[in-house]
Amino acid sequence: MTAVVHTKADLAKARAALRGRVAVVPTMGALHEGHRANFKRARESADSVIVTIFVNPLQFRPNEDLDKYPRTLDADLAVCEAEGVDLVFAPSVAEMYPEGREGLTTVHAGPDGELLEGASRPGFFTGVLTVVSKLFHLTRPDAAMFGEKDFQQLAMVRRMVRDLDMGIEVVAVPTDREADGLARSSRNVFLSAAERAAALAIPRAIGAAQASPDPLAAALAVLAAEPGLDVDYVAVRANDLGEAPDRGPARILIAAKAGTTRLIDNAPVNVGDAR
């Protein structure tokens, strides 16, 4: 049976009772099949699995969707139970930031945190890395699972773990997609039928990029043909987020809005060599 705790003190007691290799899956709740894939991967790689559920205000800007972000704790706990999760930590904002957020010591994301998502959402990765660092210290995992859908986040967490000598294995879990190709996201529930139809240009653009020796141009052509999308960025980068190679493996990353819902996606591509 899945144990559920809401305070750091109770987490410490429950964590002490876990045995063997421990994996953590940090989430903001509103769990879907993509999260289930992370839980399954955690179960495969560890003896005990912790899931954290916390909508982190540090990574939302004032004009973003913090208040309307879906909060479905009862349903989320049922998912965790079904997936054999051992322990859920679902703290309040006051529990995580008892002295408030003004003047809080944070984890600076470095130059890579100012690219792509960081350029569009200043301070986002400082918020992400700060809460992930806190959750790592509180749960003391041997491994942590992160979905590849948030590829820049995955890369930033790996960099933090390496730079700060945290000694945690960061495991990438492939992006889970819905039947129509859209990457699963907790925000997909906000899409109207017309907005969802427009959003499907994103996976189409990725498919075109993967089939072309010029991934960026191929993706841009597909996205430009969809008037229902407001494209934020399209970029091809190296797998470590460095400059894209002239030839060889790379990553295409896309962010766009369908209506008011912001969506991100990414996939591996080969520059100069169509697949």
Binding residues: 28-35, 59, 147-150, 153, 184-187
Q: Tokens representing 251? A: 């990553």
What residues contact residue 154 under an 8 Å CB cut-off, 6+ apart?
Answer: 146, 147, 148, 170, 172
Please confirm, yes or no, whether 137 is among the known catalytic residues: no
> Distance of alpha carbon 142 from its chain centroid, rounded?
19
Residue/partner pairs of 156-163 with CB below 8 Å, 24 or more apart: 156/109, 156/112, 156/113, 156/125, 156/128, 156/129, 157/128, 157/129, 157/132, 159/110, 159/112, 160/107, 160/129, 160/132, 160/133, 161/136, 163/110
Sequence letter at residue 7: T
Q: Which residues pair with 53 in a beta bridge?
A: 27
What residues contact residue 163 under an 8 Å CB cut-off, 6+ apart?
Answer: 110
Contact in structure between 210 and 275 (CB atoms under 8 Å):
yes
- Segments in the chain forming alpha helices (H): 8-17, 33-45, 73-82, 93-96, 117-120, 124-139, 151-163, 193-199, 201-210, 215-224
Sequence letter at residue 79: V
DSSP code at position 161 = H
Which segments are annotated as binding site for beta-alanine?
A: 59
Which segments are annotated as binding site for (R)-pantoate?
A: 59, 153
For helices 151-163 and 124-139, what crossing angle results, to 10°?
60
CA 132 to CA 271: how far, in whole Å? 33
Which segments are annotated as binding site for ATP?
A: 28-35, 147-150, 184-187
Active centre residues (catalytic): 35
